[in-house]
Amino acid sequence: MSETDPEVILEAVNLSKSFGGKPALQDLSFSVRRGEIFGLLGHNGAGKSTALGIFLGMVEPDGGEARIGGESVQRRRERALRQAGAIFEAPAFYDYLSGWENLKVLMSYSGGFDADAAQQVVEEVDLSDRVHSRVSSYSHGMRQRLALAQALLPEPRLLLLDEPTDGLDPEGIKWFRDFILRLRAERGITVLFNSHLLPEVEQMCDRVAIVRRGRKVYDGELAGIADDHVKLEIEADPAGQASACYRKLGGRELEEGRRVIFPEGTDPAEVARALIKAGVDLRKLIPVRRSLEDVYLEVIGCLDGEEGEQ
Amino acid sequence: MKLFLIQLRSELKKLFARRRTYIGYGAFLVLELVILWVFHLDGPREEIAKILSDTGLEVEHYYSALTVTYWMIGFSMAMLGAIYLALVSGDIVAKESEDGNLRMVLARPISRLRVLTLKYLAVLIYTVTFVWFVGVSGYLMSSIALGWDGGLFVWNYDLKVFSFFPAATVGIGRLSLSLVFLSLSMFTLSSIGFAFSCLRIKPASATILALSVLFVDSVLQMLPFMAPYREHLLTFRMSNWIYVLENTVSWAKLAENYTFLVGLDLTLFVLGWMAFKVRDFKT
């Protein structure tokens, strides 16, 4: 065991990885605490799946270390993975076997199959009716529920989810979300949720890290994201005078001036007063809650802007 | 050990539940029927009868189920057997890698070496069952057509083997022993397919590469100027199972040959494992 905080279940320490000389991950570090649902966000190809591959010992990092429950995945892979279950975007089962047989086969690699425990998990994921049918006859939603069953059977304390709701219908997404939230509430399972579906992450996660081109560009709590800035939807005329006012108050315009972000603690009334005092015709001023999507686009947008300037 | 056996059973279940695994058995039954039919034709029948009478052997006694089974095994394993074993061994890792199943396995607390060992053993078990299926089904079909009784006559011009076993029971014993050594020979083909399967290639490519190795080796063996080096060629060594059917078996020669082949098999396994070990598995 390494000397890490026992409350930290998952830890990425300066992870780097290149494929064919092209960096996929650069010095990525973050940690996930016990019972947390942590979102790893990023566009396609940002390096999320590479990070997950490293956590599961499927991808060997060029540098750094991944730890699960304090155990190094690179040095003690089996001990580390005994604590984790994983679900992939498109879980690949043995289509010619039944769901039950798939569980038996997969569990043989995790220390053995317990029929009673399997029956219980199958009921939990609502697959009892079809578990003895061939997987080739399963819908995507059923495959995903079977994937949940195989991940939960070894009773892990950490779940690694790689785009698990991709391709599910709204009903399936809601079922999956509620199930994960219930798992955390009832069993205290820690979850790493790897996704580019921002509304999903927003509804499930306590904390997120945003990865862009292999680098972490944001790491923080979702509650903080929603509250630390003030975002206003404003209609004011003339636009030039209004923009000058915003700048004076530290504001930054978004969506061609329709929305403005102000620093933490800015009072919307103060903005209104400043605009009126400057002789601006103020037609609308509505406080808007910043969504994760806003933050994501701002972070990515700012970086794109900075790179463009360079 | 118990867990290892459970895992091996899972591996075999996966292998034997696939339709492709069974196609080979079906194809062999058809091929054996064809060979049996050919042996019933006048031409081949007269040819064998001539060889037997020229050597002073009683045609009626040695034109038997055992003799036909020997020919069946030789023909069918060299032709179809190689293809199906290359197909299954080339698939064993590469197919799961291509389909994504391997990621589900590697996400579990099991080492890559253990995963490969299980798959390799499954392929070897498949090879044994396949060879024995060919031998036993061939003998059963031949017995139905020709009756179970009669001696075993073995003739191989290339290997200079000429032997006969008058008693059916002795012939059955020798033929069974030859299946053990034929299985060992075919392990080498399975090991080649397995080693290619561990690379980052399509399953079909692994199969084709394994068959190509065998084909090139066979062609080299047929070239006259390669005659002095024939004993170094793989296909020659793999055909050494026929020496078990000599009246007086040269165990030293067999031991030398099969030590070489088993050593080669282990080397191929290690090479496959080394290639597999450094692979990254990612979507």
Residue length, chain B? 283
Sign of CA dihedral B192, B193, B197, B202: positive
Bridge-partner residues for B124, per DSSP? none
pLDDT at position A304: 59
Q: Which of A214-228, B74-88, B148-162, B267-281 has the highest mean pLDDT?
A: B267-281
The ipTM, to two decimals, is 0.84
Phi and psi at residue A32, to the nearest 5°: -120, 130
Residues on chain A touching B283 (C-beta within 8 angstroms): 49, 88-89, 162
CA B16, CA A106: separation in Å to the nearest integer? 16
Task: Please state the rounded mean pLDDT for residues B33-51.
Answer: 84
Distance from CA of A232 to the nearest CA of B (A): 41
Q: What is the mean pLDDT of residues B204-212?
A: 96
Q: What pLDDT, on the 0 to 100 scale, is given for residue B194?
A: 97
Burial class (CB in 10 A: 0-12, 13-18, 19+), B264: middle
Please report the DSSP string for A61-121 in residue order: -SEEEEEETTEETTTSHHHHHTTEEEE-SS----TTSBHHHHHHHHHHTTT---HHHHHHH
CA atoms of B257 and A151, how far apart (whole Å)? 48
Q: Which is more confident, B27 or B132?
A: B132
- The verdict on a CB contact (< 8 Å) between A109 and B108 is yes
Say what the pLDDT of residue A2 is. Answer: 47
Give chain B positions within 8 Å (CB) of A81: 107-109
Nearest residue on chain B to A75, judged by CA atoms? Answer: B111
Place of tokens 């009756």: B147
Angle, helices A140-152 vs A99-108, to 10°: value is 30
* pLDDT at site B261: 96
In chain B, what percentage of residues exceed pLDDT 90? 63
Q: Which of A104, A97, A135 is CA-nearest to residue A119?
A: A104
Q: Is the pLDDT of residue B45 over 90?
A: no
Rounded Cα distance, B49 and B54, in Å: 8
Beta-carbon contacts of residue A307 (< 8 Å; ≥ 6 apart): none
Cβ of residue A110 closer than 8 Å to a chain B Cβ: yes
Contact B107 A97 (CB under 8 A): no
CA distance A191 to A208: 11
Q: CB distance from A20 to chain B under 8 Å?
A: no
B16 contacts in A (CB within 8 Å)? none
Residue B235 has pLDDT above 50, yes or no: yes
- Terminus-to-terminus CA distance in chain A, angstroms? 44
Pairing of the two strands A259-262 and A252-254: antiparallel
For residues B152 and B174, the answer to whether their CB atoms sit within 8 Å is yes
> Nearest CB to A94: which of B7, B9, B14?
B14
**Integer Cα distance of B101 and A96 in angstroms:** 12
Written in H, E and C, the secondary structure of B40-106 is HCHHHHHHHHHHHHHCCCCHHHHCCHHHHHHHHHHHHHHHHHHHHHHHHHHHHHHHHHHHCHHHHHH
When CB atoms are compared, the residue of B14, B18, B280 closest to A58 is B280
Q: Which residues of B touch A112 (CB under 8 A)?
A: 3, 6
Cα–Cα dist A280/A264, whole Å: 24
CA distance B50 to chain A (A): 52
Yes or no, beta carbons of A56 and B109 under 8 Å apart: no
What's B209-243 look like in SS3? HHHHHHHHHHHHHHCHHHHHHHHHCHHHHHHHHHH
Query: Is there a contact between B13 and A58 if contact means CB atoms under 8 Å apart?
Result: no
> Which of B109, B278, B281 is closest, CB to CB, to A78?
B109
Chain B hits for A84, Cβ within 8 Å: 107
Q: Name the percent of chain A in helix, strand, coil, to the closest 5.
A: 40, 30, 30
Question: Is 90 exceeded by the pLDDT of residue B160?
Answer: no
Burial B48-85 (b: 16+ CB within 10 A, else e): bbeebeeeebeeebbbbbbbbbbbbbbbbbeebbbbbb
A116–chain B nearest CA distance, Å: 18
Please give the average per-residue pLDDT across B104-117, as a whole number: 94
Q: A93 to chain B: nearest residue by CA?
A: B101
Min Cα separation A69/chain B (Å): 14
* Residue B137 Cα, gap to closest chain A Cα (Å): 27
- Interchain contact, A108 vs B7, CB within 8 Å: yes
- pTM to 2 decimals? 0.86
- Residue numbers in B near A60 (CB within 8 A): 278, 280
Of B275 and A244, the structure prediction assigns the larger pLDDT to B275
Q: What is the DSSP letter of B111?
A: -
Question: From chain B, which residues contact A within 8 Å (Cβ)?
Answer: 3, 6-7, 9-10, 13-14, 17-19, 99-101, 103-111, 115, 278, 280-283
Lookup result for tokens 């290619």 = B196
Would you give per-residue pLDDT tens digits along chain A (310 residues)? 445 677 899 999 999 999 988 999 999 999 999 999 999 988 888 888 899 999 999 999 999 999 999 999 999 999 999 999 999 888 899 999 999 999 999 999 998 889 999 999 999 999 999 999 999 999 999 999 999 999 999 999 999 999 888 888 889 899 999 999 999 999 999 999 988 888 888 888 989 998 988 898 888 887 666 556 778 888 888 888 888 888 888 888 877 778 888 887 888 889 899 999 888 898 888 887 767 777 777 777 665 555 554 4
Among the partner residues B3, B100, B109, nearest to A92 by beta-carbon distance: B100
In sequence order, which ranges of B147-227 are alpha helices (DSSP H)?
Answer: 168-197, 203-222
Q: How many residue contacts between A and B have a Cβ separation below 8 Å?
A: 93
Contact A268, A295 (CB under 8 A): no
Closest residue of chain A to B2, computed from CA coordinates: A112
Task: Please judge whether A110 and B18 are an interchain contact, meaning their C-beta atoms are less than 8 angstroms apart.
Answer: no
Mean pLDDT of B70-84: 87
Instruction: Tell me whether residues B108 and A60 touch, CB distance under 8 A.
Output: no
Q: Which residues of B touch A148 (CB under 8 A)?
A: none
Residues B122 and B11 sit within 8 Å (Cβ to Cβ) = yes
Give the minimum alpha-carbon distance from A284 to chain B in angstroms, rounded to a whole number: 48
Q: Identify from A44, A74, A108 which residue to disrupt to test chain B contact, counting B C-beta atoms within 10 A and taking the largest count.
A: A108
Residues B243-260: pLDDT tens digits?
Answer: 999 999 999 999 999 999
Smallest Cα distance from B200 to chain A, Å: 14
* Chain B residues inside the 8 Å CB shell of A88: 100, 103-104, 107, 283
Least confident range of A264-278, A292-306, B7-21, B69-83: A292-306
